[in-house]
Structure 1
């Protein structure tokens, strides 16, 4: 009986520790702690495992990512699976559109590594992906806002509502309507700074919604809309930038950062950005630590 009590206590402690990690991430995100820059793993850690796989999620968490970005598509039989493309040609040993195949059919194929070699992993369901994230890492579900009514039962079943971040270019009214009843899901608006409507869109969210962060996109670093970034920062809101490729971050992208981090990641940080989505998880985290931007004690 005594051993059972000790074991139960240990399990409870481990569970509390795991949950406190998610609570800590949410608190940092919502408090907009400027000394902590969030690292988001694009499609998971696809350099170590197939993109959008359970392995990629776990590897990203192991490397210290705060959030993983995943893409979802709906199968012929109404199941949600992880895949960026609308077909499985590039990332598996199969061919065809996801919408034309059942989950059972999709599960018969193996995912490829980025070099084209086959892995032992199969296409994960959204449920499998959320369970891999649970208690370890926040998750941005790409297209999740569009499918919220359909995926919410999966989110509830896995107990990961407080892990989920959704993004989109929806209006304040649309976001409030769709997220009614989902108080733990975080929504972040996305704005292209080169659009003529960018200023009004940003203003509407800052004054009417108060988001934790706003994602900004810009193909050049001297576009007029860049003046909106200080406005967002001064409001206390976080700014999210994708350093995945040049057209999203004015040319200050990951591969250039591998050669000159200060001119690329450093340039982004100098603008007040505190959330970066990257394809170079470990390298970015090490760079942020060198700048004292991963919290106390780094």
Structure 2
């Protein structure tokens, strides 16, 4: 009797397994389809550029600060790839020059904080730097290496917009790599300088890449600076720093967008946005409503996935 029951139980288990196999395969196919569907929803580079140039639509551009640095080392290729995968519009990366004239991604003048080495970037050759490892946000060494700017451009080509920070003084060398990789149309450069200064120092590039003035609303003359750009050289956007959310000039953001320039405000730290920052939003994403309500259409964030999810829930991002 025991032997008969054992045989029956084995047969039942075999039948159940056979019946379950097609379901498992179907589930795998459904999961793959979902992944492909998410990829299909990513905007093309032409769509990203068109959105950057259109200050009057309702879509908000998400810029990831130093890449997705919470899940990969800042300014690493993986941090950029993560942004591409999640559908970020633009990634901000930092450029420094090595002792032997190569361009690499590094925020600080020194490599102490973010790598397993020490000293100034400018005191290291590229070969020596590439023997080091990047650290994560907790200062722990990872398998990731310091990327060259050329590697970052190749990875980003036709996939995501780029803001090259720390690059103004070495932009001749940067632009040579943009031409080499065919990524000129994807790049934004920013600077806290007047229109006259940028035309004198950067004029040959103004029709080749996007230049964005930085305007600190706590500095004297900020209103005149904006008006001068709007009247004589309309930029694709302005980056504004607003340490208090009561600053009167914030009410002008809608008019600036109506004239054809976007409005960029960072959500990184409280002094950029009157306290409506990413860490507040991590506890309550409705903190980002301040940006929406004040006609801001470009947000640089340290929490790109959180911001994307919130904007998508409101129909403000694809």
Measure, in 1, the Cα distance between the counterparts of 2:206 and 2:44: 21
Larger C-alpha radius of gyration, 1 or 2? 2
Measure, in 2, the Cα distance between the counterparts of 1:282 and 1:33: 24
The TM-score with structure 1 as length reference comes to 0.88
Decide which of 270, 285, 288 is 1:261's aligned counterpart: 285
1:1-298 matched pairs, under 5 angstroms: 21-177=44-200, 178-180=202-204, 183-262=207-286, 264-294=287-317, 298=318
Offset at 1:182?
5.6
Q: What secondary structure does 1:146 align onto?
A: helix
Q: What secondary structure does 2:93 align onto?
A: strand
Offset at 1:232?
1.8
Deviations 1:168-210 (A, max 9, x none): 1222233334242563311111100111110010001111111
Measure, in 1, the Cα distance between the counterparts of 2:258 and 2:182: 34
Measure, in 2, the Cα distance between the counterparts of 1:103 and 1:229: 43
CA contact (8 A) 1:194 1:225 kept: no
CA contact (8 A) 1:198 1:225 kept: no
Q: Compare the two structures and name the one with the higher helix fraction.
A: 2
Measure, in 2, the Cα distance between the counterparts of 1:292 and 1:224: 28
Offset at 1:33?
4.4
**Cα gap change, 1:274 to 1:149, in 2 (>3 Å):** same
Q: What secondary structure does 2:44 align onto?
A: helix
Relative to structure 2, which stretch is displaced further, 24-33 or 210-219? 24-33
| Deviating 4+ runs (over 4 angstroms) | none
Measure, in 2, the Cα distance between the counterparts of 1:196 and 1:182: 26
Any stretches of 5+ residues in structure 1 without a counterpart? 1-16
Deviations 1:242-276 (A, max 9, x none): 000011111100110122222x2101110000000
Measure, in 2, the Cα distance between the counterparts of 1:142 and 1:208: 25
Measure, in 1, the Cα distance between the counterparts of 2:190 and 2:249: 20
Offset at 1:282?
1.0
What is the root-mean-square deviation of aligned Cα atoms in Å? 1.7
- Count residues in correspondence: 276
Any stretches of 5+ residues in structure 2 without a counterpart? 1-39
Measure, in 2, the Cα distance between the counterparts of 1:84 and 1:181: 23
CA contact (8 A) 2:55 2:257 kept: no
Offset at 1:229?
2.6
